Amino acid sequence: MRPFRPLRLFRYLALVPVLGILAVGPGTAAAAPTGTAAVGFQQITGFGSNPGHLTMYTYTPAGLPPNAPLVVAMHGCTQSANDYYTHSGWQKYADLWGFEVVFPQTDPSNNSLSCFSWFDSTKDTRDKGEAASVMQMVNQAAAQHGSDSHRIYVTGLSAGGGMTADLLADYPDVFAGGAVASGLPAQCATTSAAASGCQNSNQNLSPAQWGDRVRASHPGHTGPWPRVAIWQGTSDTTVNPVNGTELRDQWTNVWGVGQTASSTRSLPGGTTLSTYNDSTGQPAVELYSISGMAHGLAVSPGSGTDQCGTTGTYYINSICSSYYTALFWGLDGSTPGGGTGSLPAPAGVKAGQTTDTSASLTWNAVEGAASYTVYRDGAATGSATGTSFTDTGLSAGGSYVYTVAAVDSQGAAGARSTGITVTTTGSKPQCYTATNYSQVAAGRAHQSGGYTYADGSNQNMGLYNVFISHTLAQTGAGYYVISDAGCPA
């Protein structure tokens, strides 16, 4: 048997060409000494003992308010902090919604292709190595800008995604939420020799066994737990799509909820969002499965609020993952389910008449409300002075989630209502063509006894492998039928 070579693993996780990614911003960012509060993208020195030998960069928007959220964003192998800053789109939402972003950076002195060491228990566990260095960065940035200690989040791509999952497990008392993009479950591997197995194959662990790896990372912690978003392309050959399912199993188990989605809906870019709610009905875990997407971070260049980032090698034009992640965390101005005002959430939100392009809503009045803000898929879409609203300009057959918040006389929005899903008329099923293996990994099918079965209809699709392909049409939430003859009109 040929010996395992860590360098080969790093090549599998490499996300961009080595050349041309180390220049910082339009020019070169100067190192800011500890204690300064420079605006823009800057290197920060002297942030701690730095046992993981990392470099710290931050992006600070102009006019950052006190008590703002803080986001840690971690690059993939061969990338730099500047590369992730340039392509990921986090700068746009930091400017729009007012929060600080920390960009940790590793380099070849740690490993040959600048990968974060998500597979090394001497570097990715609580208070050790790179994990400890990231926490020193968080402490430095939070102290420097007066960040809200209850709104600290972490996200990362590929190897950075694997380290993100580890940090969420190591520091559930610090991070309110996380997002793992094309990454791996927390503590999937504890040595470099075991890493390739995690990348390439199913580890055949139960949800409880995956959850135990999180609970063992910080023994004695019983909650609250971070809210976790998982982004995974169904055609990823670098980090096998089964990792998305394993991450889902791990964090739903930690939250004490089942692996059956509370809701499923379609988003741009061929994305299927499966949401797993906590006991209060709020999303705890979200799995974004992007049909046909290879290894990388999903971006969507453009000027729209829901568009972000720039394309490049392993930055794939599909959907703005940073936008939907930011909404999931409540970075648009409220924590999940909450707002800046004191008014309670409107009750009795109901769908009224729906057409191909519009949806009507009604709700119960809230005492003290001067108006109401209506949110579509997390973003404000309009306002009303009464208790009804009609949203227009929608797509036929589209599925949208609406919430409503009461606004007081000072303009502060209170808690948002529980979301309701409204589907416009003229529905046309969305179809997905992929191998049986990829259909299972994307959550559209399941396997039993070596065979694959469509979710919902339970139609037999044949052997569970990468050689047999089918087209599945989604005709309802979590319901798929074989449509090899073509997508129904």
Phi and psi at 346, nearest 5°, equal: -60, 140
Nearest to 10 by CA among 94, 136, 110: 110
List the helix and strand counts (H, then E) for the chain. 10, 27
Is residue 349 within 8 A of residue 404, CB to CB? The reply is yes
- Alpha-carbon distances of 250 from 162, 169, 224, rounded to whole Å: 13, 10, 15
Phi and psi at 316, nearest 5°, equal: -105, 130
CA angle 37, 40, 46 (to 5 degrees): 45
Nearest to 286 by CA among 178, 164, 151: 178
| Whether 158 is catalytic | yes
- The set of residues, in sequence order, having a beta carbon less than 8 Å from that of 210 and lying 6+ positions away, is 185, 246, 249, 250, 253
Buried b (16+ CB within 10 A) or exposed e, 416-444: bbebbebbbeeeebbbbebbbbbbbbbbb
- Alpha-carbon distances of 340 from 92, 327, 331, 407, rounded to whole Å: 22, 15, 12, 10
The answer to whether the Cα torsion of 172, 175, 178, 182 is positive or negative is negative
Phi and psi at 206, nearest 5°, equal: -75, 160
269: left (phi over 0), alpha (psi -120 to 50) or beta: left
Stretch (H or E) spanning 315: strand 315-317
**Which position among 133, 158, 274, 321 bears the catalytic label?**
158
Nearest to 395 by CA among 376, 409, 410: 376
SS3 338: coil
Q: Tokens 């009464």 appear where?
A: 386
- Alpha-carbon distances of 118 from 114, 188, 277, rounded to whole Å: 12, 9, 28
SS3 143: helix
Q: Which amino acid is at 285?
A: V
Residues annotated as catalytic are: 158
